[in-house]
Amino acid sequence: MIISHDRKTLFIGVPKNGSQTARAVLGQIGVDLVGEMGRHPTLPEAIRLAEEQFPGKSISPTAIYAFWRDPVERFCSAIEFHKRCLPNSLMQLFPERFVGIERHPRWFEPDPNAINLDMRAVIDSVPPLDILAALPPPLVPGVLRQPRGGNLSFYRLQSEWLDDPRVTVLPFADYEAGLREIVDWFGGDGVSVEIPQINAAAGPLCELSMYEAEAVRAYYAGDLQL
């Protein structure tokens, strides 16, 4: 979602893989192709956005980078973010559980204490596997994805962004070191750059049983092959 000014280096932000932190850092030394939080263009989409940003210029980056995260850890991070910040999304996903509860006035709520206690109680009671079961099936090339309520884009498989031979995949486990390297590739100073924490978990991630973790791995089987 961030391209260098010489259009040679491109960073692709995968949801729940530190993309907003990277956007905040790289956006100071490159060109933000999105301009808003929440959008995560795939590589073809990013190229198209770059062509719109640089009309008449050739867009053929020679270095493309993105982070890969353990699918179980990433799923738990998505659950934490979903429950903490998107109350109306869960209401839309499970309307039968929120009978008699009014919608929250904001779609994205950065302050979890601002959410009605009754709504919070229902949200906290939703098991992770119920959310997993409500997700649309993984994308199959050539097959139209059926839309579901709740804005579930941050649960999409990482392979939708990373399954391209042009992308250099970096481990999220070494996120800070990897981001500093990307800063250097963008022409910045990776050693001295300050790395904030944006959309970081507010507390411990959920702990899954072995059965639950295997169910998550089965859903994200396409990510385990990356």
pLDDT at 48 over 80: yes
Task: Give the pLDDT band (50/70/90) at residue 138.
Answer: confident
- DSSP summary character for residue 157: -
Q: How many CB atoms lie within 10 A of CB 186?
A: 25
pLDDT score for 67: 98
pLDDT score for 38: 63
Domain boundaries, the chain: 2-71+156-200
Q: Are strands 2-4 and 9-11 parallel, antiparallel or unpaired?
A: antiparallel
- pLDDT tens for 165-188 read 999 999 999 999 999 999 999 999
Q: How far apart, in Å, are the Cα atoms of 195 and each of 25, 28, 30?
A: 7, 12, 16
Q: Is 138 helix (H, G, I), strand (E, B) or coil?
A: coil
pLDDT score for 162: 95
Task: Give the pLDDT band (50/70/90) at residue 216.
Answer: very high
- pLDDT tens for 142-151 read 544 445 555 6
